[in-house]
Amino acid sequence: MSKRPIIQVLKIVLPILLGVFLIWYSLSKISISGLLEYFKNANYLYIFLGVIFGLLSHLSRAYRWLFMLEPMGYKVKMGNSIMAVFAAYLINYTIPRAGEVARATVLTNYEGVPFQKGFGTIVAERVADFIVMLLIIGVTLVLQFEFIFNFFAEKFDLNKLIVAFSILLILGLLSIIYIKKSSSKITIKIKNFANGLIEGALSVFKMKKKWAFIFHTLFIWAMYISMFYITTFAIKDLGNVSIGAVLIGFILATFSIAATNGGIGSYPEAIVIAFTLFGLPEDPSRAFGWIMWTSQTLLIFVLGGLSLLYLPFFNRNK
């Protein structure tokens, strides 16, 4: 067997195995009965509001997609865009990143949008989302600079940290110089990736409705943070969660989704890591992680499943 099929299999199998391990690990740290007790006593008004914020972010994403398709001459139905987005989220729970392929395929089948063009808009979307994520991380570093600085100062020797940071900075600059001048296959791929990010970011400003696109991009991420924050009120034992804990918890939880399919197992544990840094109790933090993940996952499973079922009927004339 060639290396490529093995790598493809590992890309599917490893996240699943990691997710199973993290589920076992998480449930070994809190009893199932104790976790169910948190579910039972949670304030479902705040959970419901969190789901609404999540729903608004997904609808905004579907609407934002139209701004990228319209300049290419495609008038896509809003219904197809919404169902393609929810179907993509659902499929990502099976095979990582397969949802993006399925999302572009929906438009190819029902709207006549060539797959390459539809997939290209999705990649450009991801560039915009990546930039906003970097902005959130930057804002978090500024707002929580003292906390982050003190945390690393307590854990590590400050002088060694400064030396290590300086070495990394120098290595980074040398790497950039090397990548610019090198013509090896790896560096060409890195340059193409970086150029793609820059080109994708700049393409936003060439859109006819660029300000609407930027507004919806910011709105999507504002809804993500809002759904995370508002759901913290559902767990009474957490008390008042600081904005620092919310931002760092949100960042770690977002990255955890890439680690396993839909963040299964990894999402609650990422939140535990973030919240315990701020002195929040471990059991309520873990329970919040599971409640947060479960509520948003149910939203995706219900609407994603309905979307897959209803798409052929919605487009029965085609």
CB count in 10 Å sphere of residue 253: 23
CB count in 10 Å sphere of residue 97: 11
179 neighbors 172 (Cβ within 8 angstroms): no
Q: Give yes or no for residue 209 having a pLDDT over 60.
A: yes
DSSP string, 257-290: HHHSGGGTTHHHHHHHHHHHHTT--HHHHHHHHH
**CA–CA distance from 80 to each of 53, 210, 305 (Å)?**
21, 22, 14
**CA–CA distance from 187 to each of 169, 171, 175, 181, 191 (Å)?**
19, 15, 10, 9, 6
Weakest mean pLDDT among 14-28, 210-224, 276-290, 301-315: 14-28
pLDDT value at residue 201: 57
Q: Mean pLDDT score of the chain, rounded to an integer?
A: 85
- Residues with Cβ within 8 Å of residue 283, at least 6 apart in sequence: 30, 34, 38, 237
When pLDDT is cut at 50, 70 and 90, the band that residue 177 belongs to is confident
Pick the residue with more confidence: 69 or 148?
Answer: 69
pLDDT in tens, 132-147: 999 999 998 888 877 7
Consecutive H or E run containing 226: helix 210-232
pLDDT value at residue 152: 67
pLDDT value at residue 198: 64
Q: Give yes or no for residue 62 having a pLDDT over 90.
A: yes
Pick the residue with more confidence: 310 or 17?
Answer: 310
Pick the residue with more confidence: 74 or 33?
Answer: 33
Is the C-alpha dihedral spanning 135, 50, 257, 151 positive or negative?
A: positive
- Residues with Cβ within 8 Å of residue 189, at least 6 apart in sequence: none
pLDDT value at residue 235: 93
Q: Give yes or no for residue 197 having a pLDDT over 60.
A: no
